[in-house]
Amino acid sequence: MDVDVLEVGSRCLAFHGPLLYEAKVLKVFDATNRKVIARSASSESGGVEVSKANGHHVPKHILEGDTTGYFVHYKGWKSTWDEWIGQDRVLSWNEDNLKVQKELKQAALASQKKINPSNSVQPHTSKSNKRRSEAEREVTPKKDDRALKRSRGPTHEPDIEREVDYQKRPAIEIAIPTSLKSKLVDDWEFITKDHKLVPLPRTPCVNDILVSYAEEHLGESTFEPQAEYSEVSGEKQVLKEFLSGLKLYFNRSLGSLLLYRFERQQYFDFRRNHTTVEPAAIYGAEHLLRLFVSFPGLLAYTSMDTQAVDVLRALLEGFMRWLMKHEEFFVTEYEDTTGTYEARSRGV
């Protein structure tokens, strides 16, 4: 992942939730010197000035960090959404990172079209249909995120739900650790650029990973929630339901949301010979990580209240921090493909 230090005025890509948006660096927090670098208001040549951080409302998590912080403006958004973000949420503006941005948006659009279509509101005017392409370029998978209802101009109204519907939804933002974002980028490049594949079946598979988490956090290898009253503590019951839900979401979304186009033929080939095996027993950490990127969109159609969202967010982020410590779960070498496979994959 690109983590070069950017200069004031630089064009960049910034993560807001699981997606990347075009942004401009307005200020830079130098963690080494504890100073803020910003455009000089008095300079006609557009020079920069260095000043103490306390005059720039630098948030605590930036001040206490040991990496560069950036105050960014998202292109097309009101300045009220300008914010300080850490270096782990910033990518340089280059061709490779723009491809990553496009791929993440495509995954977001897929999650909108595939998950609970009966709960979504159909486009209510022909005008919104004409604006579909613009809305899709800006859409995120978390329909409840405030980013969707910030003003980007009237032509950017979403065409899946009426704004009044998702204004009522609690925001769901999931912080993905930097090292896992790097794995997402590498994974994307191996498959979409190098035309390699994750070897199947994976060891450990998603089921194995969930069992490992259960053994470490529950002291047992099973995590199916109790249907009736038991002596299981409330905290353990919540964790069991969380792990069971992860498995359910993974199995149901793998084929429609979590595969790049180049992987679909591999999926069809494997399923043809293993019709009774669930995806969680075939795929591993690489595809499980992709699920976390899609989660805001998957959860957007649920009726969870703010408290439930907070609990779920904590569980998701805790699981990713745990996953980050287990490098051995991730594939070390992607497999090459044949010319025959590449030709077949283009027809999928």
Look at residue 335 and tell me whether its pLDDT is greater than 80: yes
What is the tens place of the pLDDT at every residue in 224-239? 755 544 444 567 888 8
Average pLDDT over residues 230-256: 81
Assigned token pair, 48: 């920069």
Q: What residues have CB less than 8 Å from 343, skipping those under 6 apart? A: none
pTM greater than the 0.85 cutoff = no
Chain segment 114-150, per-residue pLDDT in tens = 544 444 333 344 443 443 333 333 333 443 444 434 4
The verdict on 255 and 215 lying in the same domain is yes
**Predicted local distance difference test score (pLDDT) of residue 343:** 84
Winning range, highest mean pLDDT, from 77-81, 144-148, 286-290, 299-303? 286-290
Task: Render pLDDT for 176-211 as a digit per residue (tens, 0 to 9).
Answer: 898 999 999 999 999 998 999 999 999 999 999 999
By CB neighbour count within 10 A (0-12 exposed, 13-18 middle, 19+ buried), where does 239 fall? Answer: buried
Q: Which pLDDT does position 80 carry in this prediction? A: 81
Rounded-to-integer distance, Cα 171 and Cα 101, Å: 21
Mean pLDDT lowest for which of 20-34, 119-133, 168-182, 217-231? 119-133
Q: Does 283 share its domain with 330?
A: yes
Are residues 192 and 326 both part of a single domain? yes
Counting other chains too, the contacts that 30-39 makes at CB distance below 8 Å and 24 or more residues apart are 30/68, 31/65, 31/66, 31/67, 31/68, 31/69, 34/63, 37/8, 38/8, 38/71, 39/8, 39/9
What DSSP line would sit under 312-340, residue for residue?
HHHHHHHHHHHHHT-GGGS-SSPBP--HH
When pLDDT is cut at 50, 70 and 90, the band that residue 344 belongs to is confident
How many alpha carbons fall within 13 Å on the CB side of residue 28?
24
Report the range out of 108-122, 303-317, 324-338 with the highest average pLDDT. 324-338
Same-domain status, 330 and 250: yes
Helices 95-114 and 178-188: angle between axes, nearest 10 degrees: 90
Rounded CA gap, 103 and 284, in Å? Answer: 20
Q: How confident is the model at residue 307 (pLDDT cuts 50, 70, 90)?
A: confident
Per-residue pLDDT at 35 exceeds 90: no
Q: Which of 39-53, 233-247, 332-346 has the highest mean pLDDT?
A: 332-346
pLDDT of 290 strictly over 90? yes
Last residue of a domain, one of 93, 117, 137: 93
Residue 6 is assigned to a structural domain of this protein = no
Domain count, the chain: 3
Say whether pLDDT at 268 is over 70: yes
Identify whether 173 is part of a domain. no
Residues 75 and 104 in one domain: no
Tell me what pLDDT residue 250 has.
92
In a domain, 195, yes or no: yes
1 within domain boundaries: no
Instruction: Output the pLDDT for position 52.
Output: 66
Listed in sequence order, the residues at least 6 apart from 219 whose beta carbon sits closer than 8 Å to its beta carbon are none
192 and 339 in one domain? yes
The pLDDT value given to residue 271 = 84
Residue 230: count of CB within 10 angstroms of its CB? 10
pLDDT score recorded for residue 111: 61
Mean pLDDT of 55-84: 83
Q: Please give the share of the chain, as a percent, with pLDDT higher than 70.
A: 70
Whether 101 maps to a domain, the answer reads yes
Same domain? For 190 and 303 the reply is yes
CATH number at residue 215: 1.10.274.30
pLDDT for position 302? 66
- Going by their DSSP bridges, the two strands 48-52 and 90-92 should be labelled as unpaired
Strand, helix or coil for residue 67: coil
Q: What pLDDT does 63 receive?
A: 83
- Domain final residue pick, 141, 167, 193: 167
Q: Please tell me the least confidently modeled range out of 2-6, 28-32, 226-230, 290-294.
A: 226-230
Which residues span the domain enclosing 107? 96-167
Higher pLDDT, 18 or 20: 20
Co-location of 265 and 341 in the same domain: yes
Domain-embedded: residue 280: yes
Instruction: Say yes or no to pLDDT of 301 above 90.
Output: no
Same domain, residue pair 241 and 279:
yes
Which pLDDT score is estimated for 234? 66
Whether residues 49 and 163 share a domain: the answer is no
**Same structural domain, 209 and 307:** yes
Q: What is the CATH number of the domain that holds 27?
A: 2.30.30.140
Domain end marker among 50, 69, 93: 93
At 106, is the pLDDT very low, low, confident or very high (cuts 50, 70, 90)? confident
Average pLDDT of the chain? 76
Is 152 a member of any domain? yes
What one-character DSSP code corresponds to residue 7?
Answer: P
- Check whether residue 303 and residue 226 sit in a common domain: yes
What's the average model confidence in pLDDT over 68-76?
90
Q: Which of 23, 148, 2 has its CA nearest to residue 84?
A: 23
Domain membership flag for residue 5: no
Q: What are phi and psi of 202, to 5 degrees?
A: -85, 145
